[in-house]
Structure 1
């Protein structure tokens, strides 16, 4: 993922951030939590795009979750670089190519490597077997199925008219149309200034649901970034949600479980508005303001100084974040 705002990177790296996130990714991968592992590795690479352990971990995660196109693309990038895990990456790469049916490419790559290097003993048997299988399978050609004609519908026009219910119904209809007839219009809409931030988030989820594994650009809230929809994490797996939820649980879980539930719903609503970008607010301030906002909506008493103290922030920080939230609030649910 690449993001720019006012020509500056929004990801602020702290020493050890990539190492910590990569370690968390490996732990999740060992537990079998493949999607969470992919999210941790991806976040680690936002802090250090050359982190070898995170790069290889992400490659494994993509392979484990069946994201062939993304995995192949990443493997090719790693193969082109000066990577100390060359043969480990090679092994995953040719396996992904074989799964994608690119047997001739497997043959070409492995024969080329054979001419220059000997396969490491620990993986030689598997690579030779894959080479022989690919030679056999490469003799069989399969003609691609003809692509369906593009339906005579202009999704851009339809999503700019009507109310919220109408737009939601259009989004549902789009799921039933061929990939090639939907994605071009969605890509245009994601950078269209007339489309609301919330609708752009929903369009990204549409691309994620139909497993779009190529980069798309999105512009919203004065930010521009490129993302691969199929690899975007769910809201509940984002680091901002996990950290903010943890702070809210620490303060509210035992004394105010009802308030906690309302706070988490407001948090999801705000993160959906920003998605796939993180909010610009500090996490502690965000938790405090969400707490206060939820309390106000359900009639619970709350004082600024007490709420700020619960989340270890100053009253000034609370007021600054509250002002930013209040500015966004009228538009958060607007489709």
Structure 2
């Protein structure tokens, strides 16, 4: 009877003294041991007993994240930011990490721009957030574009390819060309391809247009002063390039299991760069050195650090090789 009266009273009864502390300890220990399933169970119970504890919130955000419950992790991190639970900048960094994994780069841009506008970024974090903002803007800028059905280009219409600078417009023009008779555009396309100052991106998609039309005459491609004669109909796709696939293979073997987020984001940058380079590759630098340099680049974008010694051991290359590769990659980042 006494037990029934206690239950009906609606009071929260802690059956064991120190239960909350014990749940936190077991939950955080499970996170440390990478037992994320049990970490979630312990920390959810702890949070129900102490809903304002920032330590529990952070542990649970990480446990959700590492166990693959990204949307729960994001929702809880948003709650912490809205209710000012924990250190705001530290939680924002966690939140951005989750958004990166979800591929929600537009939300990253909104969050960081808000921080910068409100001047809430500490000096020692400013470069990190600015770099991540630039990184996210590139992802959004190059996101797949839904192309509506295009009208054929009129037979006597001549396109001034040098006057088209916006990449979205370039994609739409390429889509029209792919389904039109391009006989009257060939002179303009070839002129653009051999000109040193044309945009790398536009040249690649124009090459693809020629390949789709089975163009069998040799054309000169000039990218940044590097020249190459190619027959579009005989060319492999840009993602069939030997060096590109070697770099991806090295990265996959080195970091895809240990850090899939780093691997996925590094792969996206490499894809962007090799699309721009096509039909060229980086000369005189090994695929291992390039993989190491890309690893360092994206690690820096995330505001993290990796030592030269770690990279040398992981990729079996010397720092001077990594530096040489980094110089090439920096040049590509500037034009991408």
Q: What is the TM-score normalised by the length of structure 1?
A: 0.51
Aligned residue number for residue 329 of structure 2? 325
Flag the 1:233–1:322 CA change in 2: closer, same or farther, 3 A: same
CA distance in 2, matches of 1:299, 1:207: 42
CA distance in 2, matches of 1:235, 1:298: 28
Which of 259, 265, 277 is residue 262 of structure 1 equivalent to?
Answer: 265
Is the Cα contact below 8 Å between 1:204 and 1:229 reproduced in 2? yes
Flag the 1:211–1:300 CA change in 2: closer, same or farther, 3 A: farther
CA distance in 2, matches of 1:158, 1:324: 27
Aligned residue number for residue 309 of structure 1? 313
Which of 279, 286, 293 is residue 289 of structure 1 equivalent to?
Answer: 293
SS state at 2:221 partner: strand
Which of 179, 182, 187 is residue 184 of structure 1 equivalent to?
Answer: 187
CA distance in 1, matches of 2:236, 2:299: 29
CA distance in 2, matches of 1:232, 1:303: 39
Which of 254, 269, 282 is residue 251 of structure 1 equivalent to?
Answer: 254
CA distance in 1, matches of 2:182, 2:199: 23
SS state at 2:229 partner: strand
Matches within 5 A, 1:1-335: 151-155=155-159, 157-280=160-283, 281-331=285-335, 333=336
Please give the root-mean-square deviation of Cα atoms over the aligned residues, in Å. 2.3
Shift in Å, 1:152? 2.6
SS state at 2:265 partner: helix
SS state at 1:224 partner: strand
Shift in Å, 1:252? 0.7
Is the Cα contact below 8 Å between 1:249 and 1:260 reproduced in 2? yes
SS state at 1:217 partner: strand
Shift in Å, 1:287? 0.7
CA distance in 2, matches of 1:213, 1:287: 35
Structure 2 residue runs of 5 or longer lacking an equivalent are 1-152
How many aligned residue pairs are there? Answer: 184
Is the Cα contact below 8 Å between 2:248 and 2:267 reproduced in 1? yes
CA distance in 2, matches of 1:321, 1:179: 39
CA distance in 1, matches of 2:213, 2:302: 38
Pick the structure with greater CA Rg: 2
- Which structure ranks higher in relative contact order (CA pairs < 8 Å, sequence separation ≥ 6)? 1
Flag the 1:283–1:327 CA change in 2: closer, same or farther, 3 A: same
Flag the 1:176–1:215 CA change in 2: closer, same or farther, 3 A: same
Q: What is the TM-score normalised by the length of structure 2?
A: 0.50
CA distance in 2, matches of 1:309, 1:262: 22
SS state at 1:218 partner: strand
CA distance in 1, matches of 2:286, 2:310: 18
Aligned residue number for residue 137 of structure 2? none
Is the Cα contact below 8 Å between 1:271 and 1:279 reproduced in 2? no
Is the Cα contact below 8 Å between 2:196 and 2:225 reproduced in 1? no
Shift in Å, 1:298? 3.4
